[in-house]
Amino acid sequence: MTDVDVENNPAESRYEAWVDGRLAGFAEYTITGEAMVFTHTEVSDEFEGRGVGGGLARGALDDVRAGGRYGVVPRCPFIKGWIEKHPDYESLVLKHS
C-alpha cells in the first residue's frame, strides 16, 4: 500500500490524492445545500492497484466527517462501493425519502 496524502481543492471542487508529490487521482464533488455529492473518482493508470483509490476515499470522507458541515451523496460508483465495504462511513450518507 502506498502512502497517500489527500487534500481538498475547493477551487477545482475535488479531493486530490498525492503520492510522492505527484497527483495520483481525484474525487470530484458538487455541494448542494447540506450535501457533498461525489460525482466522479479517477486514479492515474500508473497508480492503479496501489491503494490510492481507497486512501483517497478514506481521506475525503474523513475530512467531510471532521468538518461536520455536510452529509454525503455518493453518486460516484467507486465512492458508493467503498462506503458499502466500510459501514462505519454509512452514517455520513444522506438518506432521501
Nearest to 25 by CA among 92, 48, 36, 66: 48
- The predicted pLDDT at position 1 comes to 66
Phi and psi torsions of 40, nearest 5°: -160, 135
Does position 79 have pLDDT exceeding 50, yes or no? Answer: yes
Instruction: Give 5-92's CATH code, choosing from 3.40.50.1820, 3.40.50.12280, 3.40.630.30, 1.10.10.10.
Output: 3.40.630.30
* pLDDT, tens only, 28-69: 999 999 999 999 999 999 999 999 999 999 999 999 999 999
Does position 12 have pLDDT exceeding 60, yes or no? Answer: yes
Domains of the chain by residue range:
5-92
pTM attached to this predicted model: 0.94
> H-type helices in the chain, by residue range?
52-67, 77-85
